[in-house]
């Protein structure tokens, strides 16, 4: 028996119906992120950087649990890559990511992460520097990190959840399997234009679309 074709689309009206009830929750979460930059030590900022190094192709909650485990065991400051990798339970490519964490740690042992980020005129310039200098960070991860420390609300975090929903909304024609830098920036431009048209701020739009897929506002 034939089944009716599923409609793969999402209207702005449907998005607004989802947005309005959780808008206060999104605003509170973004306030939490801004508070991090206002109060965080270098160690606090590095913890968020480690989280974003872990997230590619892995679940956010699993990655945050791994960060908390490393923090609880005081391993981020001195443990060897292999020791760190052992603690990355459920995180894909754990061996490689253990190495990335140690490389980043070595870099920011000799320079303040906070002071480095404060040197840039804005989040776009900071993102370019992070991508070019921190191994394991692409545009998505660098954008995620800056947003999570209260510096990048207007940057697009183009993970699979966001890309899928941008396609459903008609903002992009299809979901790219592995966006190049040029493609990433073009999709970000289109998402920014949609944000302005729909009057949903970029930081809100990211958390809203993430909420639509995951059922919660996380990080």
Give the residue numbers marked as catalytic. Answer: 140, 159
Which SS3 state, helix, strand or coil, does residue 50 take? helix
Cβ–Cβ < 8 Å for 109, 46: no
What are the φ/ψ torsions at residue 28 (nearest 5 degrees)?
-65, -40
User: What is the C-alpha radius of gyration for the chain, rounded to an integer number of angstroms?
Assistant: 18
Tell me how far apart the alpha carbons of residues 116 and 183 are, in angstroms, rounded to a whole number: 27
Q: Residue holding tokens 């609300």?
A: 153
- Angle CA 4–14–29, to nearest 5: 130
Cβ–Cβ < 8 Å for 151, 123: yes
Q: Count CB-CB contacts under 10 A for residue 118.
A: 11
Which SS3 state, helix, strand or coil, does residue 199 take? coil
Q: Count CB-CB contacts under 10 A for residue 56.
A: 20
149: nearest Cα among 65, 219, 212, 204: 219
Tell me how far apart the alpha carbons of residues 201 and 155 are, in angstroms, rounded to a whole number: 11
């Amino acid at each position: 028996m034939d089944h009716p074709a599923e409609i793969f689309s999402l209207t702005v009206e449907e998005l607004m119906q989802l947005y309005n009830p959780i808008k206060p929750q999104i605003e509170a979460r973004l306030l939490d992120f801004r508070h991090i930059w206002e109060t965080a030590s270098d160690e606090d900022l590095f913890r968020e950087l480690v989280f974003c190094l872990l997230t590619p192709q892995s679940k956010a909650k699993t990655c945050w649990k791994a960060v908390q485990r490393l923090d609880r065991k005081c391993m981020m400051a001195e443990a060897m890559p292999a020791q760190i990798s052992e603690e990355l339970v459920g995180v894909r490519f754990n061996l490689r990511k253990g190495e990335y964490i140690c490389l980043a740690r070595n870099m920011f042992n000799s320079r303040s992460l906070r002071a480095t980020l404060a040197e840039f005129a804005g989040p776009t310039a900071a993102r370019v520097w992070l991508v070019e200098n921190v191994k394991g960070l692409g545009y998505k991860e660098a954008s995620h990190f800056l947003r999570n420390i209260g510096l990048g609300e207007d940057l697009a975090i183009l993970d699979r959840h966001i890309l899928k929903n941008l396609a459903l909304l008609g903002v992009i024609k299809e979901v790219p399997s592995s966006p190049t830098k040029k493609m990433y920036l073009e999709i970000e431009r289109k998402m920014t234009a949609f944000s302005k048209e729909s009057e949903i701020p970029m930081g809100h739009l990211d958390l809203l679309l993430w909420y639509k897929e995951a059922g919660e506002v996380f990080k």
